[in-house]
Structures are given as C-alpha cells and as structure tokens.
Amino acid sequence: MRIKSKLFSLFTIFIFLVSSGLADELGSHKPLMLKSKNYTEYWEQFFYLSDGSLITSQFLVANFPWPVGNEHGVMLGTLVTPEGKLYVIKNGRNRENWGYNEKELDFFIHTHRLKTIDNGYSIHLENSMASIDLQLKSNQLPLSHKKFSSSNGFMETSFYAPSLIGNGKWQLGPEAGFESMGPVQTIDQASGFGVHVIMTDTADQLIKHWVRILGIGNADIKPFLSSITRPNGDEEIILKLFNANEEFDSFKDVDITFDNIIIEKGVSYPTTINISAKNNNGNLNGTFKYTKKIAHFNLNEHLNFFEKSISKTNPLVNSFRYLVDYSLVYKTAEGEKTFASKALSEYTDITSSTITSQKKRRRNRR
C-alpha cells in the first residue's frame, strides 16, 4: 500500500508539473500583448470577506483606440462594504508605468500589484479611494474552459486559482470621505478565486452571459461552477465539488436552467439556478438561490467623460453580484449526501452596443 501511495503521489506531482509547464508555455503568468485591435487580457480576482464585504480586482492589458493606444494597463477594483456601499478603485497607465515578471505571475499597474508568493498570491491595491492587502493560498489545480473562436477572434479562459483562501485588511481613503485614511478593517477570512482571460474580439461576440459560483465559509464540501453561454447559444460548463485542499468530485454531463428572471434597464439576471449533473459515480441535483444583493455593477456608470467617449462603441457589461444559498443532493451507490450552505455568485450579462443604441433611438421617437 505504501508503494502505491508513493506512486500516486509522484504521479500527482508529475501532473502538476506538466500542468504548470503548459501554463507557462501559454504565457499565463504574463500578458501576450497581441496586435489585434480588440486584444484584451486580464487577471481577475473575486473575494467575499468574513466581515461581509466584497473585493474584486482586474489587472488588464488592452489595445485601446487613439489617443490611449496599444498595450495600455488598467487596474479596475471594487470594494463593497458590509453596509453595501460601493467604492471603485481604478487607475490606467501607459506601457512605461506598468510591468510584469518574466518568470512568474508578478504584475503591477501604478501602485497596484498581483504577485505570486509561497503556495499562493498577494494582492495590493492602493490609491486615494482605498488601500487593500490580501494574502491568499491556492488550494486547487487550474481549470480551463475550451478555447472559443468567433468570426474575428477568440477567447481563452483559465481559472489559475479556482479556490483561494486567505486573510488581509482594507481601509478607505480621502476620496471616500476621510481626511487621510480611514480605520483599518482586519479580515480573518477571505474566500474567492482568480481567473485569467484572453480575448481578441469584442466581448459580445464571445459571451452572452457568464455565471460563476464558489462555495464560501466553513462547509466541508463546496461547489465551484463556471457556465459560459456563447452568442450562438452553446454552453460551456465546469462543475466541481471541492473538499478543502482537494477535488472531491467532477461532473461532465451538466444541465442548467435559469429561473425567476428579473429584468432591469434592458438587461436580465436570474435569481434561481437549477442544476442536474452526472458522472461515473452518480447524480447531483440542486438549486442555487440568490438571497442577498451585494452589488449591481455597470462599469459605464463609473467612467469619466473621456473614458465614456472611448468606450461608447463597446458592449454593455452588467454584473450582478449576490450571496446565494445552495442545496445539492448527491446520490451514489454508497448512498445520498446533501450539501447546503452559502456561496458567492456573479452573473454577467453582455449586450451589444448596437442593440443598446437601437433601443435608445426607439425610446427617443416616442
């Protein structure tokens, strides 16, 4: 038995090294800086904190129209306090004022930094709006969606850290209403994920909507769901059950239905998600119910006049961030298990700018 255990451990290490090597070949730790006019690449992180706040960060490199130009770096972050107040942390810099490490994920834009540390990552965000520091451990191997190609480009999606656990602190700054810096809020637990995305076409040609759900808190078994619906209606779904530092089970045959749809300002989002999934071990059925609104985020509402003039032809991206209650029943030959707790969810709806402008013109005629 010891020999088998050692062989299994060696095999696991080998797979991890191969996976890491492949990731390096794809350049997952540094931006590709492609020449396509619609090239966008970003590393995005989401965290629900033990004090009830939400922190997101997106380290982005993209080719923008004149006068901004190619290889422009942007860090876009949000902080939602336990009281539900949204603060946007945002800075853009030209190529001379952002950079990266050639050998590992270590990316800075202005005063913001996403960096590899021992067995995990650190995130530092800082400007006059807020200061945030998180130290995180990565518990799972990377997960990837299939590469999707449109008529004018492609999209690659990899969760470089499907499950991140850590701690840290945050404080608001003078732009949020304090004379210098506000009181430090210490965080005992942060739960979230990190994803790396490359796009060479506009988002509306690559995604119709995208839902991401991750179990949080102290539950033994936590779900991970990423479901992308493409413009042609095809669905790409990753569904896993995580058990602490290992994968508990994985599902390939997955059906999802979105119910109790709410329509706001021409965009929609579900408040109930039903899943039915199978694997070689058994069947998983259950529901995710949206129970607490954290934030509805539309980037266009937080742009200045100059930024809006550049982005006016871009697709409209609306993100609906909620806490959800989940209840999943897993039936196998060994019996039936129920997993029920809370999760963090973001549902993103993407609408073409052409459709949006047509709706506005129709309203103006009335």
pLDDT tens digits, residue range 268-321?
Answer: 999 999 999 999 999 999 999 999 999 999 977 877 666 666 655 678 999 999
The mean pLDDT value for 227-235 works out to 97
Rounded Cα distance between 291 and 327, Å, is 13
**Among the listed residues 283, 284, 29, the one whose alpha carbon sits nearest the alpha carbon of residue 142:** 29
CB distance 47 to 164 below 8 Å: yes
Nearest to 47 by CA among 124, 136, 129, 131: 136
C-alpha 177/C-alpha 190 separation (Å) is 25
* Paired tokens of 172: 């608001």
Q: Which stretch of 3-12, 37-46, 104-113, 266-275 has the lowest confidence by average pLDDT?
A: 3-12
pLDDT number for residue 219: 85
pLDDT tier at 158 (50, 70, 90 boundaries)?
A: very high
Question: What's the pLDDT at 19?
Answer: 38
State the average pLDDT over residues 102-115. Answer: 97
Side chain identity, residue 340: A
Residue with tokens 């834009």: 109
- CA dist 42 and 38 (Å) reads 13
* pLDDT > 70 fraction of the chain, expressed in percent and rounded: 86
The full 3-state SS of the chain, as one line of letters, equals CHHHHHHHHHHHHHHHHHHHHHHHHCCCCCCCCCCCCCCEEEEEEEEEECCCCEEEEEEEEECCCCCCCCCEEEEEEEEECCCCCEEEEEEEECHHHEEECCCCCEEEECCEEEEEECCEEEEEEECCCEEEEEEEEECCCCEECCCEECCCCEEEEEEEEEEEEEEEEEEECHHHCCCCCCCCEEEEEEEEEEEEEEECCCHHHCCCEEEEEEECCCCCEEEEEEEEECCCCCEEEEEEEEECCEEEEEECEEEEEEECCEEECCEEECCEEEEEEECCCEEEEEEEEEEEEEEEEEHHHHCCHHHHHHHCCCCEEEEEEEEEEEEEEEEECCEEEEEEEEEEEEEEEEECHHHHHHHHHHHHHC
User: Nearest 5°: CA angle at 62, between 144 and 138?
Assistant: 35
pLDDT tens-digit readout, 91-100: 999 999 999 9
Rounded to 5°, the CA angle 166-167-173 comes to: 135
**CA–CA dist 307, 72 (Å, integer):** 13
pLDDT of residue 318: 95
Confidence of residue 217 (pLDDT cuts 50, 70, 90): confident
> Rounded to 5 degrees, what are φ and ψ at 85?
-80, 130
**Dist CA 106 CA 120 (whole Å):** 12
**Residue 365: per-residue pLDDT:** 46
pLDDT exceeds cutoff 60 at 330 = yes
CA angle centred on 78, ends 243 and 341, rounded to 5°: 30
pLDDT of the residue at 307: 65
**Would you state the pLDDT for residue 10?**
38
Average pLDDT, the chain: 89
pLDDT above 50 (res 244) = yes
- Asked if 346 contacts 319 with a C-beta cutoff of 8 angstroms, the reply is yes
Nearest CA to 153 out of 200, 188, 89, 119 is that of 200
Tokens representing residue 264 in the block: 């706001």
Q: What is the pTM of this model?
A: 0.89
Determine the pLDDT at residue 354: 64
Select from 317, 273, 320, 271 the least CA-distant residue to 294: 320
Does residue 148 register a pLDDT over 80? yes
> Within a 10 A sphere around the Cβ of 246, how many other Cβ atoms?
10
Determine the pLDDT at residue 266: 80
User: So what's the pLDDT on residue 311?
Assistant: 58
Q: Distance (Å, rounded) from C-alpha 339 to C-alpha 1? A: 31
Q: Which residues are 115's β-sheet partners? A: 106, 122
